Amino acid sequence: MRIRSHQRRRSRRGGTVALTIALCLPVLLGAAAFVLDGGMLMAERRRAQGIADASSHAAACSLYKNFASDGGGDPNGKARAAALSIASANGYANNGNATVNVNIPPKSGTFAGKAGYAEAIVQYDHPRYFSAIFGSGTIPVTARAVARVAIQSKASVIVLDPSAAGALTLTGSARINAESAIQVNSSNAGAVNASNGAYATGQINIAGNYSIPNWATWNTFFSKPPRTNQSATADPLAALPTPPSNGPSKGSVYTGNGKYEYLSPGVYNSLSINYPGATLAPGTYYIKSGGLTIANGATVTGSGVMFYLDNSGGSVNFQGGGQITLSPPTSGTYADILLFQDRNNTRTVNIANGATTTITGTIYAAGAEVSIAGGTQNSQYGSQFISKRLTISNGASILMKNSTISGGSVGRPELVQAGND
């Protein structure tokens, strides 16, 4: 009797254990699914975010490389292709298990619609393992990132020559007071040359280095220590179109002989303004081989004007002017551009010995040197110089205000957003 009773108790206990295990099994499997599948999902999520970051950054690198021509857009799809290539190399190849969407500019979030920004959204359809007890199908893992081409503060001076010694030369007691940065792209060890009492106020950024006399220290010539070994800056006006040459034909114009003139926009073979001077109506003055000259004490005024020197051999010479007051257009294609010398025109832009000069806007001569010499204290020769080289000498004193500066200096590609807003 005792044996049978014991067997019955053991049988009941075994049934209880089996029932307990049966009841707990879903919980145990759920915990296993949470730990194992959840861990794999977290790992895949980190991997997806890394790929999104790398893909958007690759696109931004391409935008940076082609910024001068494309202005932060991707008309040829190069940036998108770069992003997709990085994603594919890391296993996200739009092959059914993964999808990669690259939007330039972004279609969502804080930076939606902004040029110079690239958005990468990646998704991986992760298979279920233990979590298959809760449902069927895959589990989507999604990540998003945005990268951009950073635009640094706009520069008062951009010197484009990539290798010249003395690309920026300051000598002969010259002074330049720049409210914004001075950017020198030359990688030469003497890219900036300062001597003979010259002085620059403002931050100078140099791809290479600067040269000063052995006896001097940096603060002999500069208000701030120049930053050397900096990244070069793309020409912000590289995509600026040349103006049409089909305006009213003006021929060769010489003003002087005691008569003050009133001039209008058009196509000039040459334009030479002498004493007593002239007033220029707003618009584009397209000038050919004879060039542009202001000389002999002339008084010249003009608001909303833009001078374009084509590549037929003309040059710019402001020599011994009386009072020159010129400002650029404030809207349209050539907003803020006062002087645009064709990029293939290598003739030096000479500005010298002006009595009172107030020129605002950008002086753009990407293929040539701009040389400024003499002049009165704190004459303003433009709000911005963009030229191949720049020389300031012979006591020239230049005040550069940044009220009208074209474009901005391109800094670097950088990641600005990982994940959603």
3-state helix/strand/coil string of the chain: CHHHHHHHHHHHHHHHHHHHHHHHHHHHHHHHHHHHHHHHHHHHHHHHHHHHHHHHHHHHHHHHHCHHHHCCCCCCCHHHHHHHHHHHHCCCCCCCCEEEEEECCCCCCCCCCCCCEEEEEEEEEECCCHHHHCCCCCEEEEEEEEEEEEECCCEEEEECCCCCCCCEEECCCCEEEECCEEEECCCCCCCEEECCCCEEECCEEECCCEECCCCCCHHHCECCCCECCCCCCCCCCCCCCCCCCCCCEEEEEEECCCCCEEECCEEEEEEEECCCEEEECCEEEEEEEEEEEEECCCEEEECCEEEEECCCCCCEEEECCCEEEECCCCCCCCCCEEEEECCCCCCCEEEECCCEEEECCEEEEEEEEEEEECCCCCEEECCEEEEEEEEEECCCEEEECCCCCCCCCEEEEEEEEECCC
Tell me the average pLDDT of the chain: 83
Q: Report pLDDT for 371.
A: 94
pLDDT digits 0-9 by tens, 1-30: 555 555 555 555 555 655 655 555 565 555
pLDDT digits 0-9 by tens, 279-291: 999 999 999 999 9
Q: Report pLDDT for 364.
A: 95
User: Residue 248 — very low, low, confident or very high, per pLDDT cuts 50/70/90?
Assistant: very high
pLDDT higher than threshold 90 for residue 119: yes
pLDDT higher than threshold 80 for residue 257: yes
pTM confidence score: 0.65
